[in-house]
Chains A and B, each alone.
Chain A
Amino acid sequence: MSENLLEVKNLTKHFSLNTDLVSRLAGRTQTLKAVDGISFHIRQGETLGLVGESGCGKSTTGRLITRLVEPTAGEVKLRGEDMLDFSPKRMRQTRKNVQLVFQDPYSSLNPRKTIMQILSRPLEVHNLAKSWHEKRERVLELLNLVGLGSEHIDRYPHEFSGGQRQRVAIARGLSVNPELMIGDEPVSALDVSIQAQILNLFRELQEKFNLTYLFIAHDLSVIRHISDRVAVMYVGKIVESGPVATIFSDPQHPYTKALLAAVPEADPKKPPPRLILKGEVATPIDPPPGCRLQGRCPIATSICGEVSPELVTVDTDHQVACHHL
């Protein structure tokens, strides 16, 4: 088994709300627990799919790992070294090992810069190319890798379609030879026929460069397709994680089961989407003690309202956080 490239332990991000003096004196401050003590690892060369509904903390997790948002507590170990202890200088150097691709290629590319400028900037920042010629060569190579032509190099982002822009964003991530690529919903803004092209591109690049992916998405069929292992998040916590085939064929946590049952499959012969959970997603603001799913769960009992369930290993590499297994 290959070693862990990334190991996240007890990662936590709490945002304080209503922190003005009056609210503090009146005791009205609140805590939004966006990410509340999650732990997971990603092995060299594999893809971990992080799935959950809006507001569950999956995007924040991606940003915490890159330290775009500073964690409240926890460890983010890249090859055994905790990045949260790094000096600003060391962190800047390390950033080239961990790259992010964002959801919306319309806002993640600067509209005033050409593709050449966009793609050569990371090379300048990290001193990866000296002369203009070297940069130009590398940018052409990158464009070729992501399936764009050399004629695109001096164009501006508005001249590209959504799928092509996402290719540029991927090329930018790739430009500094990262080990870990974090995709934060990188295909959810794209049409189905284009989405498949970009998913294939992620696969090809992974094979070519032995890349490791943290793939964040809400679409379960995308997660099923791209991941080797999956972690399911609900309101700041990981509720289940395991190999992709296990999670999809034998889910153990009531939330994972509900999520899978709710997906409408593009085949009328498949069972229609079903509802298992009642009510709405719980709030991460000052959540009550116990399991986050307690109010919606069909099998909740009194203990679920008192003790927060820990992730326990139920099978090889398969972990579930539920009192009722």
Chain B
Amino acid sequence: MNEWEIAATVLGFALIPCIGVVLLAPPPHGLAGMQVAAVLLSTILVLLSEGFHRQPFVDLAVVFAPMALVGSLVFARLMERNL
């Protein structure tokens, strides 16, 4: 196991409290937790593609990061109307 896989595993476990906030806290708090979880997941995808020496898989992270941004913006707009 190299350092990139170790970092991906650690950040993978760090996703658990974020998901806890998303599930248990009120919607506005959950949105903040979702945004941090999205950043973590993008990072994990980069780390895994580097750790497993599978360069093409970094495209997953390149696609996921902007999609997470758009998803968060949509949620934020929906939150205005007491989702």
- Binding partners A and B: no
Q: Report which A residues bind B (CB closer than 8 A).
A: none
Q: Report which B residues bind A (CB closer than 8 A).
A: none
